[in-house]
Amino acid sequence: MALWSGRFSDRPDDLVMQLSESVSYDKRLYAQDIRGTKAHVSMLARQGIVSQDDADAICHGLDAIQKEIEAGEFTFDIELEDVHMNIESALIRRLGDIGARVHAGRSRNDQVATDMRLYLREEAANVRTLIRGVQRALVGVGERYKDAIMPGFTHLQYAQPVLLAHHVLAYVEMLERDHQRIGECAARMNSLPLGSGALAGSSLPLDRESVAKDLGFSSVSQNSMDAVSDRDFMVEMLADLSLLMMHMSRLSEDLIFWVSQACGFIQLGDQFCTGSSLMPQKKNPDICELTRGKTGRVYGSLVGLFTVMKGLPLCYNRDMQEDKEGLFDALDTARLVLATYAPMLDTLQANEERMLACASDPMLMATDLAEWLVADGMPFRQAHERVGKLVGWSQANNVPLDQIPLDQMQELIPEARQECLALFDPSRSVHARDLVGGTAPAQVHAQLASWRQIFDSE
């Protein structure tokens, strides 16, 4: 059985078959294809379109085919183009005309749309589980170093003292939004396309709602043309994966900087680093760098699918065969990155003394002085200007801010008092930011406990 039989008198050129086949990559959908086919044929039996005996034989045959595939004993044939026709052809070889009844009331168009939704529902759950693993590892870092103070950065320059735990919890928040987005994407795609046919539905008395129930779909599609021709659910998944990888890439960049000799804030376990082919002393954070690089690969898959879909008229067009490889690759990439990252973070060791020393530069507390003046009644812009002049005098005279005599400080900031000299302390600085979302230990410890409670309740 080949797709070029019947209407065509000549078999396709070998190069055409190479260009047309998708089974080399869509064979990963075999389990979803078999599951959807079993639900479809069971409905056909309930509706009297096939006999119950034939439906039972078909389901048993499909189970046998699935076992062959999983045992590595099944041969996929590119002349049959895709996973759907390979499985159906194998069924017909086993059962003859009984197997040929399985395709009544469906097209490969609604079949593949169903298979992809079934597949992505499962993959969404897998990715969300892996995201949780990275979140747990980040919270673990925060718990191990819950009071460690480090310099926070803007423009890659020292800005203000923060807790290391506060910094890593920022990524927990980002990943939580990724976790939510992927779950919402899975919920939106959970509408059954099967029964839409090639584009117009079917004249057979199909019970689409019962198939949806059997396959765990929350609804059935309301427009057959939309159901078979759109791939927005796949675009959305790629967009969500791209955002996820963007966050993982940013985390990677922070870790790459922190582990550098110039920074020296952390060390990562040897099993998650590599050496140099030339320089024996090197210990490179290659996992982080690969994550940063692979992010572009996921972006490329998103742009690729956008480009495939942007000019297509309704309904199905063969261009849409190009919807899968990039998505499969993006899912594989994201899953591997997440799976590797969680155990790598478990090996993270922080150099607390080094971080605190860098956070103790009194320049990082210049904002504390400005805010003290604001609390004392000065408009912020005036306070900002006065402290800026004090910083300029400090640098010009090579006198650290915390060592400027009070009388000299008062020449530039007449409102300064003795207590201002005590503001240049990183511990005091982080404790002062005791509001929701701030870096104060009380706030950060509460957030760590909250996340741990969430994880433990799942």
Task: Tell me the catalytic residues.
Answer: 155, 276
Other CB atoms within 10 A of residue 361 CB = 17
Q: How far apart are CA 162 and CA 146, in angstroms?
A: 11
Angle ∠(227,233,237) on CA atoms, nearest 5: 165
Q: How far apart are CA 355 and CA 152, in angstroms?
A: 10
Cβ pair 411, 423 in contact under 8 A: no
For tokens 């379109």, name the residue.
49
- As beta bridge partners, residue 191 has 219
Total length of the chain: 458
Task: Tell me: cis bond preceding 315? Omega within 30 of 0 counts.
Answer: yes
- As beta bridge partners, residue 162 has 150
Cβ pair 383, 373 in contact under 8 A: yes
**Distance (Å) of CA 131 to CA 188, 338, 397, 431:** 20, 6, 50, 31
Q: Which residue from 58, 79, 70, 74 is spatially nearest to 16, judged by alpha carbons?
A: 79
Q: How far apart are CA 235 and CA 327, in angstroms?
A: 9
Instruction: State both tokens at 7.
Output: 């209407």
Amino acid found at 134 = V
Cβ pair 426, 432 in contact under 8 A: no
Distance from CA of residue 325 to its chain's centroid? 17
Q: How far apart are CA 376 and CA 393, in angstroms?
A: 23
Angular region, 200: left φ>0, alpha ψ -120 to 50, beta rest? alpha
